[in-house]
């Protein structure tokens, strides 16, 4: 088994009295798509922001490439090779594809922008991802479709020699054809050796592209399983109840209340 490139062990995060992440273990593996699923309020966004450096974990360990690290801000995460593509994509409609991909990280030749170098690298990155839906890197983002915008956001994330890419609901509000294009791109990222963390509510997308699935339930990791070892029904059970047969959290962890010495319900 390939060792995980990113590992959290017994991670906790609270906001005042709200204990959001509870002794949580999480792994991401190079060359694989790890789907992160859970109901609203399960802790997916908080976990993502802890990995991305927006929030620091209160306790627990954060390991990257087998060594303990401190991630106290987004720059620390980027320096490790962790990039996040948020659901809103954070693209500027009035700029073209190249300008968006290098926004905030522009290359210069002396005192002026090195537009030729940036354009060449943008073209190489899109070609390396086998992107064929973008005809010119000088197109303004305002003219792109939803799927093309998602492609540009993902390409921007991998431009900087990323090792872990987190995708937050990348197919939300996309049509069938555009969703297929984005999922194909997600698969190519993993096939290129990156660790991809896919956050999605769409179980069809998860089952079609994931290698492993992590299920969060009320801030706890209910299960981390290989895609081949689970089906749609069991995933839904884990998401909604924290358990599916013998898989998942204990009744105490899920908040179930038992009565009597034999644990039987009245």
Euclidean distance between CA atoms 253 and 245, whole angstroms: 15
Question: Is residue 182 domain-shared with residue 208, that is, in the same domain?
Answer: yes
Question: Is residue 63 domain-shared with residue 171, that is, in the same domain?
Answer: yes
Q: Which helix (DSSP H) or strand (DSSP E) does residue 13 occupy?
A: strand 6-15
> Computed over its alpha carbons, how large is the radius of gyration of the chain?
20
* Assigned domain for 177 exists: yes
Euclidean distance between CA atoms 132 and 246, whole angstroms: 45
Euclidean distance between CA atoms 21 and 219, whole angstroms: 4
Euclidean distance between CA atoms 180 and 146, whole angstroms: 12
Task: Provide CB contacts within 8 A for 126, sequence distance 6+.
Answer: 134, 137, 151, 155
Question: Is residue 190 domain-shared with residue 236, that is, in the same domain?
Answer: yes
Alpha carbons within 13 angstroms on the beta-carbon side of residue 39 total: 12
* Assigned domain for 6 exists: yes
Alpha carbons within 13 angstroms on the beta-carbon side of residue 162 total: 28
Euclidean distance between CA atoms 115 and 128, whole angstroms: 20
Q: Which of 161, 181, 211 is the last residue of a domain?
A: 161
> Is residue 257 classed exposed, middle or buried when 0-12, 13-18 and 19+ CB atoms within 10 A define those classes?
exposed
Nearest to 250 by CA among 215, 220, 212, 213: 220
* Assigned domain for 145 exists: yes
Euclidean distance between CA atoms 246 and 266, whole angstroms: 22
| Total Cβ atoms within 10 A of residue 44 | 21
Question: Is residue 100 domain-shared with residue 209, that is, in the same domain?
Answer: no
Nearest to 151 by CA among 129, 173, 172, 119: 129
Question: Is residue 143 domain-shared with residue 42, that is, in the same domain?
Answer: no
pLDDT in tens, the chain (266 residues): 589 999 999 999 999 999 999 999 999 999 999 999 999 999 999 999 999 999 999 999 999 999 999 999 999 999 999 999 988 888 999 999 999 999 989 999 988 999 999 999 999 999 988 888 888 999 999 999 989 999 999 999 998 889 999 999 999 878 888 899 899 999 999 999 999 999 999 999 999 999 999 999 999 999 999 999 999 999 999 999 999 999 999 988 887 655 444 444 44
Question: In this prediction, what percent of the chain has a pLDDT beyond 70?
Answer: 95
| Global model pTM greater than 0.95 | no
Question: Is residue 109 domain-shared with residue 226, that is, in the same domain?
Answer: no
Question: Is residue 1 domain-shared with residue 27, that is, in the same domain?
Answer: yes
The single-letter DSSP state of residue 169 is S
Whether 166 contacts 201, CB under 8 Å: no
Question: Is residue 180 domain-shared with residue 207, that is, in the same domain?
Answer: yes
CATH number of the structural domain spanning residue 166 = 3.40.50.300
Question: Is residue 11 domain-shared with residue 40, that is, in the same domain?
Answer: yes
Instruction: Identify the bridge partners of residue 217 per DSSP, sorted by sequence position.
Output: 220
* pLDDT for res 88: 81
Q: What domain range includes position 131? A: 91-161
* Assigned domain for 86 exists: no
Question: Is residue 176 domain-shared with residue 157, that is, in the same domain?
Answer: no
The number of domains in the chain is 2
Q: Which of 112, 146, 161 is the last residue of a domain?
A: 161
Question: Is residue 70 domain-shared with residue 154, that is, in the same domain?
Answer: no
Number of H helices, E strands in the chain: 9, 14
Question: Is residue 128 domain-shared with residue 249, that is, in the same domain?
Answer: no
Whole-Å CA distances, 230 to 2, 87, 195, 225: 20, 27, 21, 7
Whole-Å CA distances, 260 to 7, 246, 266: 39, 22, 8
Q: Which of 161, 190, 208 is the last residue of a domain?
A: 161
pLDDT for 11-54, tens place per residue? 999 999 999 999 999 999 999 999 999 999 999 999 999 999 99
pLDDT for 80-114, tens place per residue? 999 999 888 889 999 999 999 999 899 999 889 99
* pLDDT for res 1: 53
Whether 159 contacts 125, CB under 8 Å: yes
């Amino acid at each position: 088994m390939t060792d995980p490139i990113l590992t959290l062990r017994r991670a906790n995060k609270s906001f005042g009295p709200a204990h959001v992440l509870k002794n949580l273990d999480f792994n991401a593996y190079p060359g694989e798509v790890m789907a992160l699923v859970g109901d609203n309020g399960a802790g997916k966004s908080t976990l993502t922001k802890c990995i991305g450096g927006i929030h620091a974990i209160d306790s627990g360990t954060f390991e990257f490439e087998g060594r303990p690290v401190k991630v106290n801000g987004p720059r620390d995460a980027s320096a490790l090779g962790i990039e996040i593509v948020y659901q809103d994509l954070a693209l500027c409609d009035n700029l073209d594809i190249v300008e968006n991909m290098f926004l905030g990280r522009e290359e210069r030749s002396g005192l002026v922008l090195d537009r030729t170098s940036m354009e060449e690298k943008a073209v190489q990155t899109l070609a390396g991802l086998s992107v064929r839906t973008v005809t010119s890197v000088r197109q303004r983002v305002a003219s792109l479709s939803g799927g093309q915008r998602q492609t540009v956001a993902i390409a921007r994330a991998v431009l900087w020699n990323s090792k872990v890419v987190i995708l937050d609901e990348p197919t939300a509000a996309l049509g069938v054809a555009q969703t297929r294009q984005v999922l194909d791109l997600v698969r190519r990222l993993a096939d290129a050796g990156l660790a991809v963390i896919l956050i999605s509510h769409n179980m069809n997308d998860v089952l079609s592209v994931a290698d492993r699935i992590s299920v969060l339930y009320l801030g706890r990791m209910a299960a981390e399983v290989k895609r081949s070892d689970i089906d749609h029904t069991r995933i839904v059970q884990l998401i909604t109840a924290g358990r599916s047969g013998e898989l998942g959290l204990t009744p105490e962890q899920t908040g179930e209340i038992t009565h009597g010495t034999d644990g039987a319900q009245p």
